[in-house]
């Protein structure tokens, strides 16, 4: 149970880290409360999100983090992701909680009454009570408690914090024996007496046959049976733990009387050269048998039969008793959970796995244990009836494997079959050459391998390499650090933010902005410079291997802009409509639209590819805005979205288009946004 772990980080540091992650991710949800657009544009249908449920669960998860209940916090964040897979708060918090849970260890204190019981914990490990089991991962655990002479106990507990869980004292119940009282014919009255101190007798039970008296204390008993017209029958019997004993009497004339311990054994008889036939079950009275020798065979379960030749005399009824010498056998294995067979028949009532106990007659046996992961193991054993408890132990060859990754949550595959996610501990693994593959979205797969020796432990730790190559339907960050979101209706990606001065300067080496600030959108950039930036970004990302085949960066078209603007509203735009602004603002200052795109309206006008043509004029009229026919044919490029210095509804309408010559450079309210789309030159579109 002891695992190699990196240095521990104090719990309060984890709480602070996760609360910071919650605060950072919380801003992503602000757009949910926005009102619908007055004039909605055509967008791809999106699944409805129960925003109230998401908010409630995030609040409950935050409270769980404050209280140090990491398991509850993780469960709540997983439920948030089931409702909203891309929820930023849950995505930011879950990796930190997983790291915390991987580090968190607890312990449990187990006390039994009486002490000295074997405590077997699921997944490996055997202890003796009282015991404090340490270095257990948080979560649910199962234990089995066994002690000779007492009933087996199965318990489940859950560790929720890094402390010692004090389980209530487990009171073990004594096992007991059973006694079957039978007679032929049925209906004999009986008394059961227990021998106590000074050979005195204590009445235990009165009844009539047949009867099964269960849960008797171990000890010596006497059974008295009587049938009218017959003398009282008396027999002494010893009752032992986990044993089924029997007392039988025959009140009949002639032939032979057959009894057995245990009772209910099948009696088969053969007379002379006749075929063997079943005569009944013990206790049994066989009358009017032919004088002479007969062959009796008693069969019970799958035990070896008992055979005996008996002599039948005229007018005489003889009593024959048969008994199997037997013992209680304990079957155990390391690790537990094996199925045990005897001559291809499963032991343990056909359903139990090691450890378990059962009675078997004295003799030589060859037992086979089958473990799902470790194969078969055979053990030969002589069961001695006088030895009390006989133990059969199966020791399988196995070891353990631990796999961790950075980041956590990587899928672990063995021979192509998923077996879990990192951090992953496999407590039972067959020895030999092992190989695993670790996979995680947006990271390159990694393979680890090694040779596991019997009784050994292997620990694999790997750091996955981030793969920035975009994958359809998934957001990504390019080599310049720009975030792009997938818009399914466009079949490509749109930059989440307008191009910043920092990104523009990193690629071009210059910054033409009138309002210099690294995280503000680049302004005063003409159309040609914006298009050249897109071409340079394409070349750079191709050289890094970060572009999917057939895609390139460019400025959006007018139609693409009309789609990705989504339901962006003016109260979520940087403009002078409500209060006058003095300059641009940092990108992403306000909430994004439903696609995750910031500042689609406001901040700076955005260049698009289209010329201000008759086609654009027709679109403006169709969308209910006011066109400027004089601009058609004047070599002006279209600008969309309005800007920080615009204060009229006309300028800020979604359908409104501004236009400027592509060489215009002194516009401190003009910038651009990049899209990554299929290259029309290579696709022929």
Instruction: Confirm if 100 and 157 have CB atoms less than 8 A apart.
Output: no
Q: Do 483 and 420 fall into the same domain?
A: no
What is the CATH number for 648?
3.90.1580.10
Instruction: Evaluate whether residue 317 is within a structural domain.
Output: no
> Quick count: other Cβ atoms within 10 Å of Cβ 523?
27
Phi and psi at residue 155, to the nearest 5°: -135, 150
pLDDT of residue 44: 40
What is the CATH number for 404?
2.60.40.1120
Q: Do 675 and 566 fall into the same domain?
A: yes
Q: Report residue 84 CA to chain centroid gap.
A: 20
Instruction: Evaluate whether residue 234 is within a structural domain.
Output: no
Instruction: Evaluate whether residue 218 is within a structural domain.
Output: no
Q: Report residue 513 CA to chain centroid gap.
A: 53
- Taking CB atoms within 8 Å and a gap of at least 24, the contacts of 344-350 are 345/302
Q: Do 495 and 413 fall into the same domain?
A: no
Q: Do 507 and 573 fall into the same domain?
A: yes
Q: Which residues have C-beta within 8 Å of that of residue 591, sequence separation ≥ 6?
A: 27, 30, 31, 34, 572, 598
Q: Do 571 and 426 fall into the same domain?
A: no
Among 463, 493, 517, the domain-final residue is 463
Q: Do 17 and 51 fall into the same domain?
A: yes
Q: Do 38 and 90 fall into the same domain?
A: yes
For the chain of 685 residues, list the mean pLDDT of each consecutive stretch of 10: 47 64 53 43 54 87 82 85 86 82 84 92 85 86 86 87 88 86 90 86 92 89 86 88 85 78 90 86 85 87 86 80 87 94 90 91 92 93 84 94 93 92 94 93 87 94 82 84 94 96 96 96 97 96 87 97 94 90 95 95 96 95 93 94 91 93 91 93 48
d(CA 543, CA 11): 44
pLDDT of residue 546: 86
Q: Do 405 and 511 fall into the same domain?
A: no
Among 54, 84, 103, the domain-final residue is 103
Instruction: Evaluate whether residue 252 is within a structural domain.
Output: no
Instruction: Evaluate whether residue 488 is within a structural domain.
Output: yes
Instruction: Evaluate whether residue 206 is within a structural domain.
Output: no
The residues that bridge with 107 in the sheet, in sequence order, are: 164
pLDDT of residue 472: 73
Q: Count how many domains the chain has.
A: 5
Please choose, from the candidates 244, 436, 482, 248, the residue with its C-alpha nearest in 3D space to the C-alpha of residue 359: 244
DSSP code, position 582 = S
Q: Do 132 and 165 fall into the same domain?
A: yes
Among 68, 86, 103, the domain-final residue is 103
d(CA 628, CA 34): 32
Q: Do 425 and 376 fall into the same domain?
A: no
457 CB-side CA count, 13 A: 11
Please choose, from the candidates 119, 117, 124, the residue with its C-alpha nearest in 3D space to the C-alpha of residue 108: 119
Q: Which domain holds residue 162?
A: 105-171
Instruction: Evaluate whether residue 563 is within a structural domain.
Output: yes
Q: Do 657 and 518 fall into the same domain?
A: yes
What is the CATH number for 364?
2.60.40.10
Q: Do 94 and 132 fall into the same domain?
A: no
Instruction: Evaluate whether residue 22 is within a structural domain.
Output: yes
């Amino acid at each position: 149970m002891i695992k190699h772990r990196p240095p521990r980080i104090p719990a309060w540091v984890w709480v602070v880290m996760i609360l910071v992650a919650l605060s950072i991710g919380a801003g992503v949800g602000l757009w949910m409360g926005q009102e619908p657009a007055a004039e909605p544009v055509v967008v791809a249908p999106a699944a409805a999100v129960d925003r109230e449920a998401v908010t409630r669960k995030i609040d409950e998860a935050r409270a769980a983090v404050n209280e140090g209940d990491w398991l509850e916090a993780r469960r709540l964040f997983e439920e948030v992701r089931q409702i909203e897979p891309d929820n930023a708060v849950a995505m930011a918090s879950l990796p930190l909680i997983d790291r915390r849970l991987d580090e968190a260890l607890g312990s449990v204190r187990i006390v039994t009454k009486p002490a000295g019981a074997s405590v077997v914990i699921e997944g490996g490990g055997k202890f003796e009570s009282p015991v404090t089991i340490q270095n257990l991962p948080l979560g649910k655990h199962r234990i089995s408690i066994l002690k000779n002479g007492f009933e087996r106990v199965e318990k489940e507990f859950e560790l929720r914090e890094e402390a010692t869980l004090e389980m209530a004292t487990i009171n073990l119940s004594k096992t007991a024996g059973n006694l079957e009282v039978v007679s032929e014919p049925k209906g004999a009255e009986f008394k059961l007496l227990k021998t106590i101190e000074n050979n005195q007798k204590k009445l235990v039970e009165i009844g009539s046959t047949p009867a099964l008296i269960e849960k008797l204390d171990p000890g010596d008993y006497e059974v008295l049976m009587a049938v009218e017209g017959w003398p009282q029958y008396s027999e002494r019997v010893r009752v032992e733990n986990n044993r089924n004993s029997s007392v039988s009497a025959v009140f009949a004339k002639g032939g032979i009387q057959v009894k057995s311990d245990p009772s209910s054994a099948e009696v088969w008889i053969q007379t002379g050269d006749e075929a063997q036939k079943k005569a009944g079950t013990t206790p049994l009275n066989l009358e009017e048998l032919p004088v002479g020798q007969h062959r009796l065979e008693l069969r019970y379960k799958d035990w070896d039969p008992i055979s005996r030749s008996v002599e039948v005399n005229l007018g005489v009824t003889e009593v024959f008793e048969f008994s199997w010498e037997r013992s209680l056998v304990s079957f155990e294995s390391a690790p537990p959970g094996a199925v045990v067979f005897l001559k291809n028949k499963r032991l343990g009532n056909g359903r139990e796995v090691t450890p378990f106990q059962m009675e078997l007659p004295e003799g030589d046996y060859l037992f086979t244990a089958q473990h799902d992961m470790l194969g078969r193991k055979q053990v030969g054993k002589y069961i001695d009836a006088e030895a009390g408890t006989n133990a059969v132990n199966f020791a399988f060859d196995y070891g353990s494997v631990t796999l961790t990754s950075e980041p956590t949550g990587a899928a672990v595959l063995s021979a192509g079959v998923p077996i879990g996610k990192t951090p992953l501990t496999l407590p039972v693994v067959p020895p030999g050459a092992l190989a695993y593959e670790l996979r995680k979205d947006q990271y390159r797969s990694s393979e680890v391998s090694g040779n596991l020796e019997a009784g050994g432990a292997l620990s694999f730790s790997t750091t996955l390499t981030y793969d920035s190559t975009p994958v359809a339907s998934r957001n990504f960050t390019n080599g310049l650090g720009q975030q792009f979101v997938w818009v399914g209706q466009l079949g490509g990606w749109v930059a989440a933010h307008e191009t910043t001065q920092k990104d523009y300067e990193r690629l071009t080496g210059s910054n033409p902005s009138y309002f210099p600030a690294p995280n503000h959108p680049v302004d005063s950039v003409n159309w040609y410079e914006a298009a050249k930036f897109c071409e340079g970004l394409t070349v750079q990302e191709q050289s890094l291997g970060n572009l999917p085949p057939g895609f390139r960066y460019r400025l959006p078209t007018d139609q693409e802009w009309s789609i990705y603007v989504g339901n962006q509203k003016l109260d979520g735009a940087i403009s002078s409509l409500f209060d006058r602004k003095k300059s641009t603002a940092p990108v992403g200052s306000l909430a994004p639209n439903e696609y995750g795109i910031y500042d689609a309206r406001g901040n700076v006008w955005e260049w698009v590819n289209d010329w201000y043509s008759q086609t654009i004029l027709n679109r403006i009229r169709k969308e209910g805005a006011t066109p400027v026919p004089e601009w058609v044919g004047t070599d002006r490029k279209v600008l969309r979205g309005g800007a920080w210095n615009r204060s009229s509804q006309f300028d800020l309408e979604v359908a409104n288009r501004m236009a400027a010559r592509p060489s215009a450079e002194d516009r401190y309210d003009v910038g651009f946004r990049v899209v990554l789309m299929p290259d029309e030159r290579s696709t022929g579109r």
